[in-house]
Amino acid sequence: MRMMQKMGMKVDEVVNVSQVIIKTDAKDIVIEGPSVTLVTVQGQATYQIAGGQVSETVPQPTAQTVREEDVQLVAQQTGKSLEEARKTLLDAGGDLAKAIILLKGEVGS
């Protein structure tokens, strides 16, 4: 421990961690009940995650993940408002074709 301190290294356990989520464009990696350690070397902080149950999920589109170009395209193709297009695109899981079909189906009803 003293040798690490002389080298400018500090190691601290992060207590009471119940879950760690790593978000990428393609998936979310969820680690339940991990052991997390904070290692600081020369002012640079690094988190080390060990153990725990790992699962992966595909994130569902949200208002932040639906591209504005997609919303505009759906609105243009269906004649609906941007708000209606955005909501339907979210309901369709980001699927442009499905959102257009849903909105055009509403027009005919």
**Entry pTM:** 0.51
Q: Do residues 72 and 53 both lie within one domain?
A: no
| Domain end residue (candidates: 16, 35, 57) | 57
Q: What is the pLDDT of residue 62?
A: 59
Contact 8, 41 (CB under 8 A): yes
Within 1-109, strands assigned E span 9-14, 19-23, 28-32, 35-41, 44-50, 53-57
The residue whose two tokens read 């505009």 is 72
* Residue among 78, 79, 103, 77 at smallest CA distance from 90: 103
Q: Do residues 10 and 41 both lie within one domain?
A: yes
Q: What is the pLDDT of residue 109?
A: 43
Q: What is the pLDDT of residue 63?
A: 54
Q: Do residues 47 and 73 both lie within one domain?
A: no
Q: Do residues 33 and 10 both lie within one domain?
A: yes
Task: Give the integer Cα–Cα distance in Å for 109 and 98.
Answer: 17
Looking at residue 29, the DSSP 8-state letter turns out to be: E
Q: For each of the chain's 109 residues, which pLDDT tens digit applies?
A: 677 777 778 889 999 999 999 988 888 999 999 999 999 988 899 999 998 999 998 876 655 578 889 999 999 999 999 999 999 998 888 889 999 999 988 644 4
Q: What is the pLDDT of residue 49?
A: 95
Which residues span the domain enclosing 38? 2-57
Contact 89, 66 (CB under 8 A): yes
Q: What is the pLDDT of residue 78?
A: 93
